[in-house]
Every structure is written in structure tokens, then in C-alpha cells.
Chain A
Amino acid sequence: MQKLSKIEEIAQGVLAGDRRSIARAITIIENDAPEAKRLIAKIYPHTGKAHIIGLTGPGGSGKSTLIEKIVREYRRRDKTVGVVAVDPTSPFTGGAFLGDRIRMQELSTDEGVFIRSMATRNYPGGIAKATRDAVKILDAAGKDIVIVETVGAGQSEVEIIKVAETIVVIHAPGLGDDIQAIKAGLMEIADIFVVNKADRENAEKAVTDIQAMLQLNTKEKAWKPPVLKTIALTGEGVPQLIEKLEQHRTFLKKEKAEERSLLRAETELVEAIKEKAVNSIIEELKREGKFEEALQKIAARKIDPNSVAEELLHSKFKKAK
């Protein structure tokens, strides 16, 4: 047999579901190593089978604990599960403390579960830059379900919609009133609402607040986000949540599945083109010495950044023609 390159070996390992290969593959992607793009190219045709679920909500609402119970319920139904749990990177030191796993440690020795902690590395929006590709790795590795836990999200961290098919927004009583519930952002992306810690005082009020907010929707939607109650610590309400997740998946398959996946494809393509184009233009300008020159002028307040950018791009594209 021909000797395989390191990347091919890892890609084949991923497709065979080998845990070490999955772990290495995610590291390669996270570090944005030169081989990362080749790796994704190899596994991409094998993706698209898993149900990708995003779980988001404020810190302390019980995301990690709830995920542990969700995973257990899926395992009871003989499904394999991958989890990507994202925690913030310190913008000051670049370090991170990844603690989501603590609530899921009992699952770590289950062969049908793969959990990976991930730091945002200062990517905005509640996930990491590598999250989307890490999901692809787990999908290609044959996981039936892939769950992404965002960082504790407040209001506008909605980057998760670019990654997940079904979004669960989790709340807990006492974290905010009905005014919080009508704010834009997080509340708009939910396919399913969960009020966790439902044994606490004011749980009913939290449910009503969200329902009232949903009734203000003026547009008629084919999928009406349900509002569920759970107690993550005991697992109460989790089987009902799984039922809703399954229903949403069926709904997606019937309705707009193609539309949604084209939309995701568009986002990814536009981002990839932007990244490549911007990098190559900047590199060229640097080679020509124009970048440094422009920086000096801007710093000396001779000209503003926008005008310089316009000038530089103008001359570049005229030349190309």
C-alpha cells in the first residue's frame, strides 16, 4: 500500500471514527495550521448527515448541565453524540479556562460520545472561528448528533446560526424580565426555548414572558418555537425536549432544508472568498511597500484610512484590467 501523508491518515481516521484522529484534526483546525484547509477538503464530502444543534443562553442558565442530560437521553435512544463546548479566551492574556466539561465528565468514557472544549480565541459572536469546522469533523466521523454549546451569551451573540440547524435558547428564572424578552438578537434565533431550573420561583413567569413575546410576532411562521420547561439537575423535561428537537429536524427536512443549506453554503463561501481576497491584497501591498507607506500617512493624519483604502484598491484593480 502507498504511504499516506499525515493529513490523509488523519482524514481516514476521522472517517473511521477513530477518537485520536478526531482530536488531532480539531487541533489542526484550531491552530489554523497550513494543512487545515486540505483536511477539510478531504472530509467535506462526508458531512451533512448529523443533526447539528446549537445551545445558547446566558452564563449560569445551566447549559452544560442540560447538555449532559440531553446527551444521556440521546444515548438511551442509541444515537452517538459529539459536543463542542466553547468558553471565552481572555482578551488580556490569550489564555482560557475551559470548564464546561466538569458537568459532563461522566460521559467522557462513553465510546459513543466525544466532547471537545474550545476557547473563542477572541472570535466574536459566542463561538470560535474553528467551531464550524470542528462540527464538520464530528459530523464526518459519524456522530448522529452534534451539539454546540456557545459561551454564556447575553443578547447579540448569534453567530451560532451560521453553524447549527436547530437553535435552543435557554433561560432561567430571575435572569431578566419581559423587557429582556422582547429585545432583538438572541431571542430571535430560537427554534426552541427552554426555561431551565423550572423548580424555582418565577419559572412560570419566565415562560409567560417568552410566550407573550412570541405572540408579538407579526409574521406568520411555519415553525412556532415552543417554550419548554426543564430541570437539568434531575433531567426533568429532557425527553420532551428531545421530542421537539426531533420534530424540528423533521420539519427542516420537509421545509426549506435546501434553502437553509444553500444559505449556509453562501455564508461560508462569501467568508472564504473575503478571507482569501483580503489576505492576498494586503500581502501584495506589503510586498510593494505601499502598505507601510499608507500606514505612515494615516498615522501622521495626512489622509484618512478610508480614502487610502479606496485609492489603493482603485489602482490595484485598474492594473489588473
Chain B
Amino acid sequence: MQSKRKIRVLIAKPGLDSHDRGAKVVARALRDAGMEVIYTGLRQTPEQIVETALQEDVDVIGLSILSGAHKALFPRIMELLKEKGLTDVMVFAGGIIPDEDVPEMKKLGIKEIFGPGTPTEKIIQFVLENAPKRA
């Protein structure tokens, strides 16, 4: 029997900024590419994001942040994911993240970071290629 798998993506906004345009554009683009996109809404704590990823059993998490707090919030999110055993979830990020922070973020396990102006096709392509192939 054929399994009807869909890529499930959580688009989350950690931190206190309320600029959700980017998150919504990416959510919409992934939806139109045939994925199931869960959106958390604004001002999520790392705990809420990771617990949502667990309950929704997502394959991918996209983090959108423009407040500059990524250096505080991303490590916590990655740590919680590990703690809860969600190590097979692919994480990418977007928003305003200075170039000099990128290597540090990637070292945490964040697979890619997309800055302003990234074409949505590029993000779709990236998610399709990098979403974990789970049973």
C-alpha cells in the first residue's frame, strides 16, 4: 500500500518582535508547494515551539526572528529539541541575522539561514531537498 506522506512544517516566531510578514510569506509559499504548514503566531517561547513541534510531529521547523535575540533563543530551542529527542527534525531560520553570527548558528545545528530578499523558490527547493526522509 502506498503511504501518503506530506512534509509537515512548523513556522515559528520566537522572541518579542511582531514582524510576521516574512513568516507568513514563507508559510504561504510552502503551503503552495504542497506542504502542511503549522503556524504558531507571534511571541513564542522556546518551550512552546519545541512542544508544538513534538505534538504536531513536524519534519521541519522554520524560525523567523527580527529582534536580534537569536543568540539567546536559538541555542535554547536546539537544546530543547535534543532534550525531547527531536533530533531528526530539520531546522532552518530567516529574518535579520548578521553574517558574523551565521557560523555560530550553523554550529548549533541550524541547517540554513535565509536573509531578506531570498526568493521563496529557493526556500521551497531547500526544504524539499533537506526534509528528513522518515519512515
A, B assembled together? yes
Chain A: residues with CB nearer than 8 A to chain B? 6, 19-20, 22-24, 26-27, 30-34, 89-90, 93-99, 101-103, 105-106, 108-109, 114-117, 119, 121
A109 contact set on B, CB distance < 8 A: 45, 47-48, 51
The answer to the question of B112 belonging to the interface, with a C-beta cut-off of 8 Å to chain A, is no
- Interchain CA distance A30-B28 in the complex, whole Å: 22
Indicate if the CB atoms of B56 and A32 lie closer than 8 Å. Answer: no
Chain B: residues with CB nearer than 8 A to chain A? 1, 3-6, 8, 27-28, 30-41, 44-45, 47-48, 51-52, 54-57, 84-85, 135
A98 contact set on B, CB distance < 8 A: 36-39
Indicate if the CB atoms of A33 and B55 lie closer than 8 Å. Answer: no
User: Whose C-beta in chain A lies nearest to the C-beta of B49?
Assistant: A108
Q: A19-B54, A115-B55, A116-B55 known; A105 and B33 CB under 8 Å?
A: no
Indicate if the CB atoms of A33 and B3 lie closer than 8 Å. Answer: yes
- Interchain CA distance A108-B51 in the complex, whole Å: 6
Indicate if the CB atoms of A90 and B31 lie closer than 8 Å. Answer: yes
Least CB distance from A130 to B in Å reads 10
Q: A23-B54, A97-B31 known; A102 and B41 CB under 8 Å?
A: yes
Indicate if the CB atoms of A32 and B4 lie closer than 8 Å. Answer: yes
B56 contact set on A, CB distance < 8 A: 23, 101, 116-117
Least CB distance from A71 to B in Å reads 13
Which of B5, B30, B39, B51 sits near A31, CB closer than 8 Å? B5
B3 contact set on A, CB distance < 8 A: 31-34
- Interchain CA distance A108-B27 in the complex, whole Å: 20
Given contacts A19-B54, A34-B3, A103-B41, 9 further A-B contacts (CB under 8 A): A23-B55, A96-B31, A97-B31, A98-B39, A105-B40, A109-B48, A114-B55, A116-B55, A117-B56
- Interchain CA distance A119-B4 in the complex, whole Å: 13
Q: A34-B1, A95-B33 known; A102 and B57 CB under 8 Å?
A: no
Q: A108-B48, A109-B48 known; A96 and B57 CB under 8 Å?
A: no
User: Whose C-beta in chain A lies nearest to the C-beta of B24?
Assistant: A97
Q: A93-B34, A97-B27, A97-B31 known; A105 and B55 CB under 8 Å?
A: no
